[in-house]
Amino acid sequence: MRVTIADVAREAGVSKTTVSRVINTKAEVGGSTAARVREVIAELGYVPSSGAVGLARGSSRTVGMLVPSLTWPWMGEVLQGVVDTVEAADYGLLLFTCNRGAESVERFTSQVSARAFDGLLVVEPENTLDHLTALHRGGLPIVLIDDRGHHPEFPSVVTTNHEGGASAARHLQAGGRTRPLVLTGPHHFGCVRDRLDGFLSVLPTDLVVQGDFTEGNGRQVVEQLLAEGQRFDSVFAHNDVSAAGVLRALHAAGRSVPGDIAVVGFDDIPMAEHTAPPLTTVRQPTRRMGETAARLLLSHLGGTATPDGPVVLPTELVVRLSAP
């Protein structure tokens, strides 16, 4: 049998009200009474039922997090940042994915309405944006972790994609490269446009190919370009995964990196250190993005107003052997 507040009250010879006050450290309890209650609580090993507390208070002390996939290489860092922050605030974290399309969105939405959590963190909301907007308007606090789009309706955490692209260009330029290939991600992503604009503002080129962020695509694009006889002395790939594909295609074609061609990626996922050669890349502060988003949401739940614009965290160029 679980120990309830009633058990504690009876054992301590006080009312449930008093026990509740002691638990929640309201000032108005007599010193000796409080001490006795605390003793009984310890002795009985009493812990309040979170469900009951949530019901009575109308909040669950839990935040939800909705992610498109858990296996993306940088997701672990984001999650860790979120969990650390949320746990430190004594909140729980309820995790959802939306990779089963309509079905999971529906399931998810009903969880929301069930008030299983007080606020929501969302990573790259793409296909759920309509739902989210409705929920947000319905009063659910939401914070986006999103490097892909611009959603002024929501508070969000983003990174400096434009400047990141520019820093890659400056680095290649300083290394004497003049004819870069830019392998972008899908153009409908805001981050892709930003990275591209930033890069081109420093080092213009007409050799821009739209990719899809996958390794296979990175490999394929380079293979084809080389077959066509296209000439370039460097590559800026919009994420590390496709940069890995680029490296493999160059290697297979007998081009030396960085001798013939320098390569710069974006993200700094764990793999970046281990490609051949190790990848120079524009680092996204993924863990800090998770922390920041969680902190934003928590302080919003605590009553603080959320900032108007997105919170912007800086990228950082990490120089390795692929573009020294």
CB 215 within 8 A of CB 241: yes
Phi and psi at residue 4, to the nearest 5°: -110, 175
Q: How far is the CB of 189 from DNA (least distance, A)?
A: 39
CA atoms of 249 and 268, how far apart (whole Å): 20
Interface map 89-128 toward a copy of itself (x if CB under 8 A) = -x-xxxxxx-xx---x--x--xx-xxxx------------
Residues 235-274 contacting a copy of itself, CB under 8 A: 244, 270-271, 274
CB 253 within 8 A of CB 221: no
Residues 24-43 contacting DNA, CB under 7 A: 24, 27-30, 32-34
Nearest one of 6, 15, 16, 3 to 43, comparing CA atoms:
3
- Region at 90 (left for phi over 0; alpha for psi -120 to 50; beta for the rest): left
Omega within 30 of 0 (cis) for the link into 68: no
Binding-site member from 71, 206, 229, 303 for a copy of itself (CB under 8 A): 71
Burial of residue 321 (CB within 10 Å: 0-12, 13-18, 19+) is: middle
Interface map 108-137 toward DNA (x if CB under 7 A) = ------------------------------
**Binding to a copy of itself by residue 130, rule CB under 8 A?**
no
Residue 281 contact partner, candidates a copy of itself, DNA, none, CB within 5 to 8 A by sort of partner? none
**Binding to DNA by residue 21, rule CB under 7 A?**
yes
DSSP character at residue 279: P
CB 288 within 8 A of CB 159: no
For a copy of itself, the binding residues (CB under 8 A) are 2, 45, 47-55, 60, 62, 69-73, 75-77, 79-80, 83-84, 87, 90, 92-97, 99-100, 104, 107, 110-111, 113-116, 244, 270-271, 274-277
Q: Report the interface residues with DNA, using CB under 7 A.
A: 2-6, 13-18, 20-21, 23-24, 27-30, 32-34, 46-49, 52-53, 55-58
